[in-house]
Amino acid sequence: MNTVHVLLWVVYPYLAITILIGGLIWRYRYDKFGWTTRSTQLYETALLRWGSPLFHFGVLMVLIGHVVGLLIPKSWTEAVGITEHSYHFMAVFIGTVAGFCTLAGMVILIARRRFTGPVFAATTRNDKAMYVFLAAVIVLGLWNTVRGNITEGGYDYRADLSPWFRSLFYFSPDPELMTSVPIGFQLHVVAAFALFAFWPFTRLVHAFSAPIGYVTRPYVVYRSHGTGPRPSRPGWEGPPTLPTRSSSRSRR
Amino acid sequence: MRVMAQMAMVMNLDKCIGCHTCSVTCKQAWTNRSGVEYVWFNNVETRPGQGYPRTYENQQRWQGGWVRTRSGRLKPRSGGRLKRMFTVFANPKLPSMQDYYEPWTYDYEHLITAPSSDDIPVARPKSLLTGEDMKITWSANWDDSLAGGNEITAGDPVLAKVSEQVRQEYEKTFMFFLPRICEHCLNPSCAASCPSGAIYKRSEDGIVLVDQDRCRGWRMCITGCPYKKVYFNHRTGKAEKCTFCFPRIEIGQPTICSETCVGRLRYLGLLFYDSDRVAEAAATEAEQELYAAQRSVFLDPHDPDVVAAARAGGIPDDWIEAAQQSPIWDLIMKYEVALPLHPEYRTMPMVWYIPPLSPVVDVLRDTGHDGEEAGNLFGAIDALRIPVDYLAELFTAGDPAPVRAALGRLAAMRAYQRRSNLGETPDDAIPASVGMTADEMDDMYRLLAVAKYEQRYVIPAAHAEDAHRLEKIATECSLDYVGGPGMGGGGPYGQGPFGESSGTPVPIQVETFDAQRSRQRADSLTEAGDPAQRTNLIDAGGAGDRTGARPRKDPAGEGGDVTGPGVLDINRDQP
């Protein structure tokens, strides 16, 4: 274990995660108004309708794959009877499909961005830099999945890479584990942490405001503009009752 | 019963001359910024016509509003919660910029800088989206006063609902103007469509607003609103909509569109409604009964039970008094001349319209009849199916009876008042024929014809307003005022680190507070040479420190280089 290893697999990831978390907090406090998807659908719909769902659903599948592959220890899946071979087969198959969906979506979106006049005019330098990082991570990841696992007969990242990733969160990082990881995977990890550090300063922040709450929220939102004692219980909340101070202030 | 107050508007369409003053002053106050060049919170449409955005009333295509499910509940026509989550990456029913219109400016500079030549220099139209030359083919008001003729009016979705014969006749005969703002619905489907929960209805006065800090640009509200009155700011990536000029309403002033209306056709006032019954009324099965269902939700502010419930619900006494004097209550409930726009969308709209009698009068006059004689008018309303059917498609989901009744009252008022004006004996049979007394008819005439400012706009000032302002001032950075050393120069008026849309916008309360105070305390009018700052016409009144009324001058620029909101710089942000 030398200094480079420590810098690359301990200092660098922690630095990136710190910037990610600190940056998100800072951006949220300072720039709520700029926290948006900055959608360009108003300018162009035909290409977006294919490219955007392809990319986003693809990348969500990829995310689930990463959660399973990185956070769930090998011993757990083996304990429930999933052999390494069947796990590997599923991971490669689903990962490849999801990866290609993501890549195809991204290619459509980037081409659309470049060749649709109003969309290109609305593209900032920040966006362009972000695309470079994002594309690097996705292409490297897909390359590893296809090349490392199909043509070269399989590499079990759950033996070294995943334990290293988890060790970051136990606060007992073990850079030793990363020394045996193939160079392609190492590059993917480095690019990914660079993207994480850049994340809070790009439009990608919209991923952290995915509207999960919408599924359970009542349709119409009421809000009071003042500090007065006005009740704000909406009409569809059960049978009418006489307003009481405690229940009427429950929903803001 | 749960009493809530709603600030509502009624427009008298007979008085609209289509001058677009409301649209222009609204645009000056609210949407003269980049990103909303194409946006008109208030627009005036010619009927018949396609409207703005084009054919927005065709809900088969645009999927706005609510539908009643088989179980009798309501869900947004564009889909429930899960479907919306799955279409969040690309809204399948979003109007494109071309359905509104591509905004443009002209290359005026070329007129001055063009080299000497034999040809007269021309200011070419330049797209505000790309900066390229463009061909102008449509705008917010392209079919004004039936311009474009049948070719364009044939695309009117309302006209498509009336019969072919009626349609051909209509195209030859009738025209009226329909000013539109956000309906500030009791059951807003834009709010229901917002995944972030950024669109909310204010519980005090029912104004529907977009929280700019919570909007994440999912653009579902644009589809959700059947009136297409939520717009996407394509520069900031946020939804924007008519605010009912809430900074003005809160201090008891009418909206800009009402204030500047040349025809004085707008009425503003409070309406109490039973919010426990909104969902039930909006889910009424038959579309034609929705008009009556919505009226049944409104509560009589003169009823002691309602007053008691309003007090119990925390509505202050001066608001109750304002509701009792509300011209809206009189026009909708007492005289029954105002009708809702497209009740079949089930959003319970709160900007209502008095249908125009003038098409009927015009026909009578043009055919040599006396257009003010009661018998002629009543006969014409019954005989002229054409305007009645069309108006019914607009205001009562196709049921001609309420339209006919409203037009009947207007006709009776016209005939009755002419007799009075000419010194003839008033004929009490005329008001009786439409179920009114002579006194009621006089009152209605006064409200519709001679009502002064205070009678047309009955607006109680907000009580929480001062507390809220103080809270805002206390919690924001005190250096955040306009032009101050804080970061308040970001947002839509400055350049933040993530593009022009980033940073903290100037809190509107602080801004209106300062402007208002300065205006109220000033002794003199603004001087032409006063230093200019930024555009703020929301409460400009001629007096006081109107430094915000002109675009800001760039101190670094030589030769009066003007930048800022309202000044279009198509070269900005070009790669």
Average pLDDT value over all residues in chain A: 86
- pLDDT score, position A247: 40
Chain B residues with CB under 8 Å of A240 CB are 1-2, 276
Chain A residues with CB under 8 Å of B505 CB are 33
State the residue range of the domain holding A57.
Answer: 3-210
Rounded Cα distance between B385 and B373, Å, is 19
Tokens for B1, please give them.
């019963």
Rounded Cα distance between B147 and B286, Å, is 36
A248 and A140 in one domain? no
Q: Is the pLDDT of residue B530 over 90?
A: no
Distance from CA of B99 to the nearest CA of A (A): 10
Q: Do A41 and B90 touch (CB under 8 A)?
A: yes
Chain position carrying tokens 């990319």:
A55
Q: Do A34 and B499 touch (CB under 8 A)?
A: yes
Q: Do A33 and B504 touch (CB under 8 A)?
A: yes
Among B197, B219, B503, select the one facing A213 at the smallest CB separation.
B197
A226 and A205 in one domain? no
Give B496's strand partners: B499
State the residue range of the domain holding B517.
Answer: 465-549
CATH number at residue A13: 1.20.950.20
**How far, rounded to the nearest angstrom, does the alpha carbon of residue B247 sit from its chain's CA centroid?**
16
A221 and A128 in one domain? no
Question: Between β-strands B3-12 and B351-354, what pairing exists: parallel, antiparallel or unpaired?
Answer: parallel
- pLDDT score, position B118: 93
Q: What is the pLDDT of residues A100-142, one digit of tens each?
A: 999 999 999 999 999 998 999 989 999 999 999 999 999 999 9
**Count: domains in chain A:** 2
Across B544-563, average pLDDT: 44
Rounded Cα distance between A52 and A119, Å, is 14
Q: What is the pLDDT of residues B182-226, one digit of tens each?
A: 999 999 999 999 999 999 999 999 999 999 999 999 999 999 999
**62-81 in chain B: CB under 8 A from chain A:** 76, 81
- Predicted interface score ipTM higher than 0.90: no
Rounded Cα distance between B162 and B140, Å, is 25
Task: Spell out a b/e string for B197-210, using b for 16 or more CB atoms within 10 Å of the CB, else e.
Answer: bbbbbbbbbbbbbb
Q: Is the pLDDT of residue B541 over 90?
A: no
Tokens for B429, please give them.
């049979």
Rounded Cα distance between A186 and B573, Å, is 37
- pLDDT score, position B504: 57
Count residue pairs from A and B with Cβ separation < 8 A.
210
Give domain status of residue B532, yes or no.
yes
Give domain status of residue B187, yes or no.
no
Rounded Cα distance between A209 and B552, Å, is 35
Q: φ, ψ for residue B33 (rounded to 5)? A: -120, 165
- For B129, half-sphere exposure in the C-beta direction (CA atoms, 13 angstrom radius) is 19
A204 and A97 in one domain? yes
- pLDDT score, position B505: 55
Confidence of residue B567 (pLDDT cuts 50, 70, 90): very low
- pLDDT score, position B90: 92
Answer whether B74's CB lies under 8 Å from B66's CB.
Answer: yes
Q: Is the pLDDT of residue B496 over 90?
A: no
- pLDDT score, position B224: 96
Cα–Cα distances (Å) from A148 to A77, A179, B450, in that order, read 22, 17, 84
- pLDDT score, position A241: 52
Rounded Cα distance between B300 and B330, Å, is 10
Q: Is the pLDDT of residue B419 over 70?
A: yes
Closest CA to A235 of A225, A222, A224, A247: A222
Give domain status of residue B42, yes or no.
no
- pLDDT score, position B39: 96
Q: Is the pLDDT of residue B538 over 80?
A: no
Q: Do A52 and B232 touch (CB under 8 A)?
A: no
Confidence of residue B572 (pLDDT cuts 50, 70, 90): very low
**Count: domains in chain B:** 1
Question: Between β-strands B339-340 and A222-223, what pairing exists: parallel, antiparallel or unpaired?
Answer: unpaired
Across A73-90, average pLDDT: 87
Question: Between β-strands B298-299 and B266-274, what pairing exists: parallel, antiparallel or unpaired?
Answer: antiparallel
Higher pLDDT, A229 or B13: B13
Across B102-123, average pLDDT: 93
Across B255-263, average pLDDT: 95
E-only strand ranges, B64-123? 66-68, 74-76, 104-106
Chain position carrying tokens 């490219």:
A51
Q: What is the pLDDT of residues B436-492, one digit of tens each?
A: 999 999 999 999 999 999 999 999 987 654 444 444 444 444 444 444 444 433 433
A81 and A11 in one domain? yes
Confidence of residue B383 (pLDDT cuts 50, 70, 90): confident
Confidence of residue B94 (pLDDT cuts 50, 70, 90): very high
Q: What is the pLDDT of residues A159-211, one digit of tens each?
A: 899 999 999 999 999 999 998 898 999 999 999 999 999 999 999 999 999 99
Confidence of residue B123 (pLDDT cuts 50, 70, 90): very high
- pLDDT score, position A102: 96
Confidence of residue B362 (pLDDT cuts 50, 70, 90): confident
Distance from CA of B322 to the nearest CA of A (A): 17
Q: What is the pLDDT of residues B314-348, one digit of tens each?
A: 899 999 999 999 999 999 999 999 999 999 999 99
Task: Spell out a b/e string for B138-166, using b for 16 or more CB atoms within 10 Å of the CB, else e.
Answer: bebbbbbebebeeebbebbbbbebbeeeb
Confidence of residue B515 (pLDDT cuts 50, 70, 90): low
Across B383-395, average pLDDT: 85
Give domain status of residue B87, yes or no.
no
Among A39, A56, A233, select the one facing B237 at the smallest CB separation.
A39
Distance from CA of A150 to the nearest CA of B (A): 32
Q: How many CB atoms are closer than 10 A to CB A114? A: 12
**504-523 in chain B: CB under 8 A from chain A:** 504-505
Q: What is the pLDDT of residues B294-318, one digit of tens each?
A: 999 999 999 999 999 999 998 999 9
Chain B residues with CB under 8 Å of A228 CB are 204, 314, 463-464, 467
Q: What is the pLDDT of residues B280-297, one digit of tens each?
A: 999 999 999 999 999 999
Higher pLDDT, B227 or A229: B227
* A238 conformational bin, left if phi > 0, alpha if psi -120 to 50, beta if neither: left
Give domain status of residue B339, yes or no.
no
Across B242-258, average pLDDT: 92
Radius of gyration of chain B (CA): 25
Q: φ, ψ for residue B133 (rounded to 5)? A: -60, 145
A173 and A99 in one domain? yes
Residue type at A167? S
A250 and A169 in one domain? no
Higher pLDDT, B270 or A155: B270
A105 and A89 in one domain? yes
A222 and A131 in one domain? no
Torsion over CA: B259, B260, B262, B268 (sign): negative
**194-213 in chain B: CB under 8 A from chain A:** 194-197, 199-204, 211-213
Q: Is the pLDDT of residue B18 over 50?
A: yes
Q: Do B129 and A39 touch (CB under 8 A)?
A: no
Distance from CA of A80 to the nearest CA of B (A): 32
Q: Is the pLDDT of residue B238 over 70?
A: yes
**How far, rounded to the nearest angstrom, does the alpha carbon of residue B37 sit from its chain's CA centroid?**
17
Rounded Cα distance between A230 and B304, Å, is 20
Q: Do A222 and B1 touch (CB under 8 A)?
A: no
Radius of gyration of chain A (CA): 23
Where is B125: in which H helix or E strand? strand B125-127
Question: What is the percent of chain B with per-residue pLDDT over 90, rounded to a whole number?
Answer: 62
Residues 6+ apart with CB under 8 A from B23: B40, B42, B43, B44, B140, B179, B257
Rounded Cα distance between B311 and B2, Å, is 11
Across A89-110, average pLDDT: 93
Average pLDDT value over all residues in chain B: 83
Q: How many CB atoms are closer than 10 A to CB B525? A: 11
Q: Is the pLDDT of residue A243 over 80?
A: no
Q: Is the pLDDT of residue A93 over 80?
A: yes
A199 and A97 in one domain? yes
**50-89 in chain A: CB under 8 A from chain B:** 52-53, 55-57
Across B11-21, average pLDDT: 95
Residues 6+ apart with CB under 8 A from A58: A98, A99, A100, A101, A102, A103, A104, A105
Rounded Cα distance between B237 and B527, Å, is 37
A223 and A135 in one domain? no
Confidence of residue A152 (pLDDT cuts 50, 70, 90): low
A116 and A241 in one domain? no
**95-154 in chain A: CB under 8 A from chain B:** 117-118, 120-124, 126
Residue type at B536? N
